[in-house]
Amino acid sequence: MLKLYNSLVRDKQEFVPIEPGKVRMYVCGMTVYDYCHLGHARVLVVFDMVARWLRASGYQVDYVRNVTDIDDKIIRRALENGEPFTRLTQRFIDAMHEDSAALGVLPPDHEPRATEYVDKMQAMIGTLIGNGHAYAASNGDVYYAVQSFPEYGRLSGKSLEDLRAGERVDIDPSKRDPMDFALWKAAKPDEPSWASPWGPGRPGWHIECSVMGSDLLGPHFDIHGGGQDLQFPHHENEIAQSEGAHGCKFVNYWLHNGFVRVDDEKMSKSLGNFFTIREVLEKYDAEVVRFFILRAHYRSPLNYSDQHLDDAKAALTRLYTALRGAEAAAWTIAWDDPHAARFKAAMDDDFNTPEALAVLFDLAAELNRAGTAEAAARLKALAGVLGLLQREPEAYLQAGAETGGLTAERIEALIAERLAARKAKDFKRSDAIRDELKAAGVLLEDGPQGTQWRRL
């Protein structure tokens, strides 16, 4: 029985899909005006894990992750660069795809771009105006009238009065209520725009996801996900728009992943404490970063530091070392197997990846003791559900930048020289080679199969 923590009710609930055997899931994707940072990496990896587990559980999953390719930040950056906004967004969409592929993230089934849906956004805005949920203002903008939707605030757990009191909203004389939000923004000089019944302009951010989600998944679907920071106002506004336009429940289960933190502060560009995925991958193997993200429960804060990444690297190395030299038999996961059953119980409990990873370490310990092909197969198969341990162990253990100018070929040559020195009982030279390699970040491990090496 799969249970999800539903932000809408602030509790775990048994997952019951709208259509038996099928899951329709929408996740808010990236606003593409810069390289993705580690917070984006968490969203990418977490919901890739969710989709993988749903499929491993036998569901047919239709997974949508959108791209916001028109937005205030995009327009501002394009103007700063003196380039068309479409060139800017395409460059960072390509970079996002490279980063997500490096992290082992499978492509979503659909990746709609906001600019492809402007006509349908205008249609939904027209519907909202027609049924009294929106109005065209004197400044050329179109606003959603929050007072027209009595349940506004239920996702964030606050009443409209609480939200008004807690939010600093600039007074805009064109709005009927300070909390009203833009569905359509009138064009400003030098901005891209589209013709509309309300004059040239562009869509507001919130309407994008309501339209793309309902167009691809229907007006009522199973799961909507995103970062915790989107819960209010973005997801709150999506509910108001979608239910106001379609007259039915929008989403059954809302999933939100926790923040990435640096020195106990939320990682953000405004604080200058953010790291792009590319910067992190210059120092750490991409699978280490994926493991680091999955090592924490998706709803908990993820504390970034070199020490935590180093710990993740050491832990992943232990798993790959256990597989080293083991011939993994072909094994189709049998969920009644004791280890698989524990893994499944953890994942069915709101995607408890820390507990699922603990099962992998138990299997690695068993593999180190017994060294059976069956144990290796179990470890590799269960890890594969999380997108881990699918490389040949040597490829992971010996991967990384050359240290001290030592290529793999040079390391093998030094190992051969060390073996010759040992045969000649020249232990001083043998020890010197080991020390030289260790100083260069290469660890030698002598065993029954000879000398193996890995990068530290």
Residue 326 shares a structural domain with residue 432: no
Least confident among 134-148, 182-196, 329-343: 329-343
Token code pair at residue 447: 């065993």
For the segment 379-400, what is each residue's pLDDT rounded down to a tens digit? 999 999 999 999 999 889 887 7
Q: Last residue of a domain, which of 257, 281, 300?
A: 257
Q: Last residue of a domain, which of 257, 288, 323?
A: 257
**What pLDDT is attached to residue 411?**
83
How much of the chain exceeds pLDDT 70, in percent? 96
Residue 203 shares a structural domain with residue 342: no
The CATH number of whichever domain residue 139 belongs to comes to 3.40.50.620
Binding site residue list for ATP: 269
Give the pLDDT band of residue 374 (cuts 50, 70, 90).
Answer: confident
Residue 28 belongs to a domain: yes
Is the peptide bond prior to 233 cis by the omega test (within 30 degrees of 0)? yes
Residue 158 shares a structural domain with residue 296: no
Residue 343 belongs to a domain: yes
Binding site residue list for Zn(2+): 28, 209, 234, 238
Give the pLDDT band of residue 226 (cuts 50, 70, 90).
Answer: very high
User: What number is the average pLDDT over the span 89-110?
Assistant: 98
Give the pLDDT band of residue 452 (cuts 50, 70, 90).
Answer: confident
User: What number is the average pLDDT over the span 436-442?
Assistant: 81
Residue 315 shares a structural domain with residue 345: yes
Residue 403 belongs to a domain: no
Residue 439, domain extent: 408-455
Residue 295 shares a structural domain with residue 364: yes
Residue 270 belongs to a domain: yes
Residue 330 belongs to a domain: yes
User: What number is the average pLDDT over the span 310-331?
Assistant: 88
225: burial class by Cβ within 10 Å (0-12, 13-18, 19+)? buried
Q: Last residue of a domain, which of 195, 229, 257?
A: 257
Amino acid at 414: L
CA angle, residues 148, 150, 156, in degrees to nearest 5: 115
Binding site residue list: 28, 209, 234, 238, 269
How much of the chain exceeds pLDDT 90, in percent? 75
Among 211, 213, 367, 392, CA closest to 287: 392
List all residues 6 or more positions away from 283 whose beta carbon is below 8 Å from its beta carbon: 306, 309
Least confident among 104-108, 236-240, 325-329, 384-388: 325-329
**What pLDDT is attached to residue 170?**
60
DSSP 53-77: HHHHTT-EEEEEE-BB--SHHHHHH
**What pLDDT is attached to residue 413?**
83
Q: Is the pLDDT of residue 163 over 90?
A: no
Residue 135 shares a structural domain with residue 214: yes
Residue 402 belongs to a domain: no
User: What number is the average pLDDT over the span 100-125?
Assistant: 98
- CB contact at 8 A, 155 and 239: yes
Phi, psi of 311 (to 5 degrees): -65, -40
**What pLDDT is attached to residue 441?**
78
The better pLDDT of the pair 23, 272 is held by 23
**What pLDDT is attached to residue 420?**
82
**What pLDDT is attached to residue 169?**
54
Q: Is the pLDDT of residue 436 over 90?
A: no
Residue 247 shares a structural domain with residue 275: no
For the segment 46-72, what is each residue's pLDDT rounded down to a tens digit? 999 999 999 999 999 999 999 999 999
The better pLDDT of the pair 239, 413 is held by 239
- CB contact at 8 A, 433 and 418: yes
**What pLDDT is attached to residue 43?**
98
Q: Is the pLDDT of residue 349 over 90?
A: yes
Amino acid at 225: G
Least confident among 21-30, 260-269, 331-340, 389-398: 260-269
- Tally of domains within the chain: 3
- CB contact at 8 A, 309 and 291: no
Give the pLDDT band of residue 425 (cuts 50, 70, 90).
Answer: confident
Q: Is the pLDDT of residue 166 over 70?
A: no
**What pLDDT is attached to residue 405?**
67
Residue 321 shares a structural domain with residue 341: yes
Q: Is the pLDDT of residue 446 over 70?
A: yes
Residue 165 shares a structural domain with residue 217: yes
Q: Is the pLDDT of residue 126 over 70?
A: yes
**What pLDDT is attached to residue 228?**
96
Q: Is the pLDDT of residue 402 over 70?
A: no
CA angle, residues 71, 257, 273, in degrees to nearest 5: 65
User: What number is the average pLDDT over the span 22-37?
Assistant: 97
CA angle, residues 333, 2, 356, in degrees to nearest 5: 50
Residue 266 shares a structural domain with residue 238: no
**What pLDDT is attached to residue 348?**
98
Give the pLDDT band of residue 404 (cuts 50, 70, 90).
Answer: low
Residue 81 shares a structural domain with residue 214: yes
List all residues 6 or more positions away from 412 whose beta carbon is below 8 Å from its beta carbon: none
User: What number is the average pLDDT over the span 180-196?
Assistant: 95
User: What number is the average pLDDT over the span 359-365?
Assistant: 96
Q: What is the C-alpha separation between 274 and 374, in angstroms, rounded?
A: 43
**What pLDDT is attached to residue 84?**
96
Residue 47 shares a structural domain with residue 175: yes
Residue 116 belongs to a domain: yes
12-21 contacts, C-beta under 8 A, 24 or more apart = 12/349, 12/350, 13/253, 15/253, 17/59, 17/222, 18/220, 18/221, 18/222, 18/252, 21/58, 21/59, 21/60
71: burial class by Cβ within 10 Å (0-12, 13-18, 19+)? buried
**What pLDDT is attached to residue 167?**
59
**What pLDDT is attached to residue 403?**
60
Residue 132 belongs to a domain: yes
